[in-house]
Amino acid sequence: MTLPIRIVIGMLTGTATGFAARLFFAGSPGLAWFNDNIAYFLGQLFLRLIFMVVVPLVASSLVLGVVELGDVRKLGRIGMRSLLWTGLLSAISVGIGIGLVELVRPGEMVKAEVRDELRAKMIPDSKKVIENALGARRPVDAVLGLIPKNPLQAAVNALEGETLALMVFSLLVGIALTLVDPEKARPITELAEGVLAVSMKIIDFAMSLAPVAVAALLFSLVVRTGAELLASLAGYVAVVVLGLALQLFVVYSIVLTWRSRWRPAVFFRQTREALLTAFSTASSSATLPTTLRVSEENLGIPRQIGSFVLTVGAMANQNGTALFEGVTVLFLAQLFGVELTFGQQLAVVFMSILAGVGTAGVPGGSIPLIVIVLQTVGVPAEGIGTILGVDRLLDMCRTTLNVAGDLVIAALVASDEGEAS
Ligand code: ASP
């Protein structure tokens, strides 16, 4: 049985047993204990094993990607193409989300009492989120922060939002390696090759746990997400999921047919392992090793293109996150009866696209950015509490689109470069 099939079986088992547990053991201490210990342990074991190698993997894969491209101009061209595609696809994604949220107006479907109850339940969580978000830096410092004063520190903090800084460092190392005496460059390149191979092997170990871990993660999700909560936010959840599905299946199919060598059906079949991993981990960074492997082995995208486009994309191309941010801000504006001017709506679009770039590819990475956008357009920031209870579910869905978007861009760039096999 192949891994994707085993993961799907894990998903179905986790979901079914989660529902059964809710039905038969709702509120029992035994269920809470099982969930907080066994299911939590299995899920976290898997996630931590993957996160453990994200830093060495991102660094080595980018260094090697640049060295293998061998030519800074080629890197510039690929970078430019990826950037243009990212901009275009993110704008379409946010457009779909905002169009749907304006059409359906889910914020007006939730009763004021339900809204206040949801918000009240989440006050401690919202406080934490808001504090973190408001500690954010000024834009100029954020840009300067991309150049790490100390690359080791950037590596240490990579999963807390300094991944972009680590990437800038790795890119510069890669570029410098192509320009120094090859004799001097060789040991470092070989080291990067070794680090990459070892990281991939550790990911293989982790992935062998994936089916069981995914079952545990879904079990917890089902047990923890209140059915009433889901029902009261059904309009909002439906708009996000429908928007993501339209971008995934319609928009991506159109661009793939238009500009790549892959038929959409083949593309989705070949990449399903990465999409399932994204869904289960809710993290583009954690999915990166699988994304890299699938791109090379199943799609035949040359490694030098894949490692550059996908590694940068895992951090900076997040169509799902962009859509989710736009929908959430407008939903909360509707919910709290804040009328946004046309200018403010444009600001939401623009900031959502940027948020897709600036969000760390980790679970819940987009929440702090939503708080900032809410504040900018004058929607109460504590409103975020209303949606925190369904965030994990939506995170799994948007991360799937984020990762699919990275693979689509890699496919488009490889086709543009005429190098796909
Ligand atoms: N979890 C998302 C990712 O890793 C980021 C987010 O939208 O929270 O791609």
pLDDT tens-place string over residues 340-390: 888 888 899 999 988 888 787 888 888 888 888 888 888 888 888 888 889
The Å distance, Cα 244 to ligand 1 centre, comes to 13
d(CA 312, CA 175): 15
d(CA 204, CA 26): 36
The Å distance, Cα 396 to ligand 1 centre, comes to 8
pLDDT the model gives residue 419: 57
pLDDT digits (tens, 9 = 90+) for 34-53: 999 999 999 999 989 988 98
Please check the confidence at residue 421 and state whether its pLDDT lies above 50.
no
pLDDT the model gives residue 137: 65
Please check the confidence at residue 30 and state whether its pLDDT lies above 70.
yes
The Å distance, Cα 392 to ligand 1 centre, comes to 10
Is the Cβ atom of 356 under 6 angstroms away from ligand 1?
no
pLDDT the model gives residue 109: 87
Is the Cβ atom of 283 under 6 angstroms away from ligand 1?
yes
Per the model's pLDDT, the better-predicted residue between 104 and 381 turns out to be 104
Q: Which pTM was predicted?
A: 0.89
For residue 400, what is the enclosing H or E element?
Answer: helix 385-416
pLDDT the model gives residue 136: 62
Please check the confidence at residue 336 and state whether its pLDDT lies above 90.
no
Is the Cβ atom of 82 under 6 angstroms away from ligand 1?
no
Q: Are 316 and 86 in contact (CB under 8 A)?
A: yes
| % of the chain beyond a pLDDT of 70 | 97
Q: At what angle do helices 54-69 and 40-52 cross, to 10 degrees?
A: 30
Is the Cβ atom of 273 under 6 angstroms away from ligand 1?
no
Is the Cβ atom of 352 under 6 angstroms away from ligand 1?
no
The Å distance, Cα 399 to ligand 1 centre, comes to 5
Q: Are 400 and 248 in contact (CB under 8 A)?
A: yes
**Which domains, and CATH codes, for the chain?**
3-416 (1.10.3860.10)
Q: Which residues, including other chains, have CB under 8 Å from residue 368's CB and lie 6 or more apart?
A: 129, 132, 133, 136
The Å distance, Cα 90 to ligand 1 centre, comes to 14
Q: Give DSSP secondary structure letters for 57-90.
A: HHHHHHHHHHHHH--HHHHHHHHHHHHHHHHHHH
Q: Which of 283, 372, 396 to mutate to test the pocket of ligand 1 (most atoms within 8 A of CB)?
A: 283
Is the Cβ atom of 399 under 6 angstroms away from ligand 1?
yes
Is the Cβ atom of 357 under 6 angstroms away from ligand 1?
no
Please check the confidence at residue 252 and state whether its pLDDT lies above 90.
yes
Which atom from ligand 1 is nearest to the alpha carbon of 282?
A: 1
Average pLDDT over residues 141-146: 80
Question: Sorting pLDDT into bands at 50, 70 and 90, what band is 128?
Answer: confident
Average pLDDT over residues 139-146: 79
pLDDT digits (tens, 9 = 90+) for 185-227: 999 999 999 999 999 899 889 989 999 999 999 999 888 887 7
